Amino acid sequence: MAESELIHLVADLSLIHTNGKWRYPGSWANYAPYGSPDLYLDLARLLEHGKFDGAFFADVAGTPLFEGSTDSTVEWGVAWPRHDPLPLAIAMSGVTRHLGFITTMSMTYHHPFNVARLYASIDHVTRGRIAYNAVVSGFPQEAQNFGYPTTPDHEWRYRRAEEFLDVLDKLFNSVEPDAMLWDRESGRVADPSKVHRIDHVGEHFKVMGPLPCAPCPQGRPVQVQAGQSPSGMKLAGKWADMQFVVGDTNKIRADHRARLDAATEAAGRPKRSVGILFAGLFDVVSGPEESRENERKFRESHPEKLGIVMLSQWWGLDGYKLDPRRTVHETIADIREQGTHHNNWGYLENALKMVDDKMTIAEYSKFFLRANMGFFGTPEQIADQLEEAHHAGGSNGGFMIAPRTGNPGGIARFVHEVVPVLQRRGLMRKEYAGPTMRENLLV
Ligand SMILES: Cc1cc2nc3c(=O)[nH]c(=O)nc-3n(C[C@H](O)[C@H](O)[C@H](O)COP(=O)(O)O)c2cc1C
């Protein structure tokens, strides 16, 4: 098997302390509560032992609303609390040598100069193990924390993102790799002919440059992108090293690979130059009985009200009063009439396809938590599923996975039981290829 066909693995650690997951039996047992880095430090060591490429932290800097208020989201811990993940990634890099970190900052609300300087600095501190998940933000409560009445329009956000990534590129190129001298004899620090102003002037940004940072250990941080609309695909084709994709079937994975290859070629880059990390849950079990038991425990870790609040957030219904006793069909007809959701019509349509006309919102809020999409079974079965999915998606990239069960037990089981099977089959490496994330992930 060619090196480039290896499966790369990234663990999604984004919301392991919220949305009921913290309450799964065994989850967070013997650890100080969220806010202390202890659990994350142990997860970092575990992931490195399992030769994972990285840990991922999504980020949305806003608190979801339920029926017009943050009371229920706060009370039941729906995507709240949520610290900035960057300091955690830095702490985790201190107890590891090879594991990489993918962290998120909005291109809609932040300034590219700040982001370039921050990520270049973190690339130094982590010794070349940081990746930037460049997101176009869609949540209205995040917009309201940055002075916008609601999420700006899709096309505006993507125009800003195009310019944002252009500025980032110019800033990372503004200091050439061999610019530094640190010559004790003469006292010269850098060669000025190798450090350049960028003098960028555009619709959204005016940046003189240069980046006030020594050249990054990775050249530049690895860049990841997740948008999947035509504008999102265009952006990924032009700038991404890796794209995050939610694809539950091998047909979706194959179709997406074809779309991404087309977008990459249209941007003038060689086909396959962008890897894909397909997102999915996993549950490693010894047989069907344990799987059923894990699912039961998973559902029970979500009190009824939590399910309803999460459903409201999933459907984007900030101010809408969800009546648990009404049917899904009645409720969606009402939402359609009132136009009270934002951006999430696809999720509502999907719900209509999945339920009969008698299912109530209370029942559906449990049903949608069934979380049975992903990679479930014995270690050998999961390895089979991953292998097939990897080939379907073009064998270039891998998976961004999270356990359905709690942590650290869920990840420990994957590391100790599934990774050895993948390694035995030659699908995962037994040693890291180099010290930087770029060297490990992008081969
Ligand atoms: C796996 C995955 C991870 C994502 N992580 C984030 C995130 O951390 N923060 C965020 O605001 N959006 C996140 N998104 C949302 C995307 O960045 C993007 O806004 C969304 O897919 C809509 O873009 P589109 O209209 O181009 O599809 C994520 C999407 C996916 C599929």
pLDDT at 299 over 90: no
Q: Does the CB atom of residue 228 touch ligand 1 within 6 A?
A: yes
* Residue 261, pLDDT above cutoff 90: yes
What is residue 40's DSSP assignment?
H
Model pLDDT, residue 343: 65
Residue nearest to atom 8 of ligand 1 (CA): 58
3-state DSSP call for residue 235? helix
Instruction: Quote the distance between the C-alpha of residue 138 and its chain's center.
Output: 14
In angstroms, the CA 48 to CA 46 distance is: 5
**Distance set, CA 204 to CA 111, 138, 160, 223, 344 (Å):** 9, 18, 6, 21, 27
CB atoms within 10 A of CB 293: 11
What's the angle, vertex CA 163, arms to CA 399 and CA 201, rounded to 5?
155
Q: Which atom of ligand 1 is nearest to the CA of 233?
A: 26
For ligand 1, say whether the CB of 60 is within 6 Å of any of its atoms: yes
Q: Tell me, what amino acid is at 376?
A: F
Share of the chain above pLDDT 70, in %: 98
The closest residue, in CA terms, to atom 18 on ligand 1 is 227
- C-alpha 13 – ligand 1 centre gap (Å): 15
What integer pLDDT is reported at residue 1 of this predicted model?
37
Asked whether the predicted pLDDT for residue 73 surpasses 70, the reply is: yes
Taking the C-alpha atoms of residue 136 and residue 140, their distance in angstroms, rounded to an integer, is: 12
Q: Which H or E run contains 132?
A: strand 130-135
Top mutation candidate among 151, 228, 235 for ligand 1, by most atoms within 8 Å of CB? 228
Question: Separation of 186 CA from ligand 1 center, angstroms?
Answer: 50
Calculate the CA 278 to chain-centre distance. Answer: 10
What is the average pLDDT score of the chain?
94
Local confidence band at 415 (pLDDT 50, 70, 90 cut-offs): very high
Distance from C-alpha of 154 to C-alpha of 160, rounded to nearest angstrom: 10
Confidence of residue 370 (pLDDT cuts 50, 70, 90): low
For residue range 121-143, list pLDDT tens digits in order: 999 999 999 999 999 998 899 99
280 alpha carbon – ligand 1 mean position (Å) = 15
Which residue, judged by its Cα, is nearest atom 28 of ligand 1? 226
- With a 6 Å cutoff on the Cβ, whether 379 touches ligand 1 is no
Q: Which atom of ligand 1 is closest in space to residue 138's alpha carbon?
A: 19
CA atoms within 13 A on the CB side of 43: 30
For atom 1 of ligand 1, the residue with the nearest CA is: 244
pLDDT in tens, 322-345: 999 999 999 999 988 887 777 667
Q: Given CA atoms 313, 317, 321, 323 in this order, what sign does their dihedral have?
A: negative
